[in-house]
Amino acid sequence: MADLNIPNLNNKSDKYIFKKKLNLRRKSKRRLFTESFFLFITSFLLVYINYLIPNKILLLKNIPNTFNKSFLLIIDLFSYLYEIFLLIFILVSSLTALILMLGCIYRLFRIFKRKSKKIIYK
């Protein structure tokens, strides 16, 4: 009976369930400055990488054609996957049928091979 936990009905509602986990302190100016510096460096690096990509305009013009080709390839992929799974099913079912037939033949062989021995109890 000591392990019995009776719920306390006077508990406050869990309206602000994550309020205690929030960090309510403000960041220092130095930390804000370093974070903004790292954000600026990262954005500058991304802009530079985009600048190095050749033929950006041609790539943007070919977006619809690229999506069309990719959707056709996805459809072909699913049709090939269907054929592959069908082939795997055929091979597994054939192997299973072969094992079952060998078991059947072995049991029939044991039935016909069995010699009838009469054991005489005295």
Name the nearest CA neighbour of 29 among 37, 21, 41: 37
pLDDT digits (tens, 9 = 90+) for 8-53: 665 655 565 665 666 667 888 888 989 999 999 999 999 999 999 9
Distance, in Å, from the CA atom of 91 to the CA atom of 50, rounded to the nearest integer, reads 50
Who's near 27: CB < 8 A, 6+ residues apart? Answer: 35
Predicted structure pTM score: 0.43
- Tell me the CA distances in angstroms from 111 to 19, 89, 98, 114, 115, one per residue in order: 78, 33, 20, 5, 9
Average pLDDT over residues 55-77: 93
